Amino acid sequence: MRLTRYFLPVLKETPKEAEIISHQLMLRAGLIKQQGAGSYSWLPLGYKVLMKVQRIIEQEQDRSGAIQLLMPTLQSAELWRESGRYEAYGREMLRLKDRHEREMVYGPTNEEMITDIFRTYVRSYKDLPLNLYHIQWKFRDEVRPRFGTMRSREFLMKDAYSFDLDREGATAAFYRMFVAYLRTFHRMGLTAIPMRADSGPIGGDLSYEFIVLADTGESAVFCHADLLKKPIPAIDTDFRGDLEPIFKDWTSLYAATEEMVDQQAYEASVPEDKRVSARGIEVGHIFYFGTKYSAPMKAVVTGPDGKEVTVHMGSYGIGPTRLVPAIIEASHDENGIIWPVSVAPFEAVLINLKAGDAESDAACEALYGALRAAGIDALYDDRDQGAGGKFATADLIGIPYQLILGPRGLKEGQAEIKHRQTGARETLPIADAVGRLKALIEPQRRDQV
């Protein structure tokens, strides 16, 4: 993509309303525009990152055996009354009526609707286990939306729902999602720590949050330092086998949010030199809640003995619009964002130091064509602007690699590659530049799949 043809409204000044670094950088780098309290438009650069985040989530959900569908944003209030949650959910849920005075809700979550879909079509234990998921915009009327898309009223959510014959099967489904979440966040360059958590209005007695440590996190967290460097488990293609040992291995080390912490247990089980007390951002939440919804909504199947069995359920959420700022909080410097290759809006940016110079233009055009031919997702900064402004933009928007060429380098037959994460620079023959970038980028793509 040529920058002269792209829509990238970067800002020089930090907007006053932005309290945390991710909100500041998302506005300055032209990722989002605020439309109202807790409501944002995702501009082209931000939307591209969001879709890369979504694609990783989809890949890991599919790999775990979950099946994607799509449910409506508006739901019948009757379904919520049937489950008993219509009044209990509280004022965060937006309630409305259509022209026929039918009561509706703008779904903050989808346990009721997915249970209704299940009970309509699934009749036998032979159709289990089943896990259905979708990625959809949701609305919760937050009292105080803040921190940009970290806590907004309208947000994108991946929610999955598992159905099993009994608690044993449902727990196995929970373990599959637990491992899928570890892999998902790792592929985005995040260290996400699983912590026992409260289930809130969704319910259930087995509940874990995945927390990314960040100074601006909403909650205090307490954990064992070894959780920050545990290797992600290797899993076969279809998540076969017993995953309980992985779950127990990860949850054997102490980790808790401030709501769930037992200070005495924390100090007793974690050596002083291994204690981590920090702030954290929730990026995912998984629940097992048994028959909380299936019992009142009569979601039953015929069991092996011919008798009706109420199915056991679980719910598994990830917020893509929350993940984008979480990645920024975990990966930035004083100059801007530092994207991991897996979610970067572009993998490399080609910087023409003297746009308008015939020789520089011709050489950069050739490089741009070679980058595209090599399968590298590249942004070409072909603007007629000073080098300082181009470098500042490249650093701000966080593209992992900068390929730099100008008249001096062209005269010497040399190009320069800057690594955004480390700031390291390497000079090499122009003819070798694209191959070098491909060698840098491709292993990161593979390692994160």
Contact present, 176 and 239 (Cβ < 8 Å): yes
Which regions of the chain carry the CATH code 3.30.930.10?
7-336
Q: Tell me: the pLDDT tens digits for 247-290?
A: 999 999 999 988 889 999 999 999 999 999 999 999 999 999 99
pLDDT of residue 130: 98
pLDDT band at 449 (very low <50, low <70, confident <90, very high): low
CATH top class, domain 348-447: alpha beta
pLDDT of residue 96: 94
Is the pLDDT assigned to residue 17 strictly greater than 70?
yes
Q: Tell me: the pLDDT tens digits for 327-358?
A: 999 999 999 999 999 999 999 999 999 999 99
DSSP state of 391: H
pLDDT band at 389 (very low <50, low <70, confident <90, very high): very high
Q: Give the 3-state secondary structure of residue 2.
A: strand
- Nearest Cα to Cα of residue 76 among 119, 105, 98: 105
Cis peptide before 129 (omega within 30 of 0): yes
Which regions of the chain carry the CATH code 3.40.50.800?
348-447
pLDDT of residue 16: 85
Q: Give the 3-state secondary structure of residue 361.
A: helix
Is the pLDDT assigned to residue 448 strictly greater than 70?
no
Q: Tell me: the pLDDT tens digits for 154-210?
A: 999 999 999 999 999 999 999 999 999 999 999 999 999 999 887 565 555 689 999
CA distance 13 to 158: 34
Tell me the average pLDDT across 1-25: 93
The DSSP-derived string for 285-330 is: EEEEEETTTTTTTT-EEE-TTSSEEEPEEEEEEE-HHHHHHHHHHH
Is the pLDDT assigned to residue 106 strictly greater than 60?
yes
Buried-exposed string 375-396: b where 16+ CB fall within 10 A, e elsewhere: ebbbbbbbbeeeeeebbebbbb
Is the pLDDT assigned to residue 376 strictly greater than 70?
yes
The residue behind tokens 């089943």 is 130
Tell me the average pLDDT across 410-438: 97
According to CATH, the superfamily of the domain at 7-336 is Bira Bifunctional Protein; Domain 2 (3.30.930.10)
- Percent of the chain beyond pLDDT 90? 86
Residue 56 in tokens: 């990783």
**Secondary element (H or E) of residue 264:** helix 263-269
Is the pLDDT assigned to residue 323 strictly greater than 70?
yes
Question: What pTM did the predictor assign?
Answer: 0.95
Is the pLDDT assigned to residue 128 strictly greater than 60?
yes
Across the chain, mean pLDDT equals 94
